Structure 1
Amino acid sequence: MTQKIVLMTLVVRDYDEAIAYYTQKLGFLLREDAQLGDDKRWVVVCPAGASETGLLLAKAQGDAQIAAIGNQAGGRVLLFLQTDDFERDHALYKARGVRFLEEPRHEPYGIVAVFADLYGNKWDLIELRAA
Structure 2
Amino acid sequence: MSLSIATITLLVADYDDAIAFYCDTVGFDLIADNDMGGGKRWVVVAPPGRSGAQMLLAKVDGEAQRAAMGNQGGGRVMFFLNTTSFAKDHAALVGRGVKFLEEPRHEAYGSVAVFEDLYGNKWDLIEPKG
Which bracket does the TM-score occupy, shorter chain normalised? over 0.9
Partner of 2:97: 97
CA spacing shift, 1:93–1:29, aligned 2, 3 Å:
same
1:49 deviates by: 2.3
Task: Kindly tell me the number of residue pairs found equivalent between the two proteins.
Answer: 130
Structure 2 Cα separation of the partners of residues 76 and 53 of structure 1:
19
Q: Which amino acid is 2:112 matched to?
A: V
Q: How does 1:69-108 map to 2 (within 5 A)?
A: 69-108=69-108
Deviations 1:9-35 (A, max 9, x none): 000000000000000111100000101
Q: How does 1:1-131 map to 2 (within 5 A)?
A: 1-130=1-130
Structure 2 Cα separation of the partners of residues 69 and 75 of structure 1:
11
Structure 1 Cα separation of the partners of residues 80 and 48 of structure 2:
15
TM-score between the two structures when normalised by the length of structure 1: 0.97
Structure 2 gaps of 5+ residues are none
1:51 deviates by: 3.6
1:50 deviates by: 1.9
Structure 1 Cα separation of the partners of residues 65 and 11 of structure 2:
7
SS of 2:114's equivalent in the other structure is: strand
Structure 2 Cα separation of the partners of residues 24 and 9 of structure 1:
19
SS of 1:44's equivalent in the other structure is: strand
Structure 1 Cα separation of the partners of residues 16 and 107 of structure 2:
36
TM-score between the two structures when normalised by the length of structure 2: 0.98
Q: Which amino acid is 2:97 matched to?
A: G
Deviations 1:83-115 (A, max 9, x none): 010000000000101000000111001000000
**RMSD of aligned alpha carbons:** 0.8
**Identity percentage over the alignment?**
59
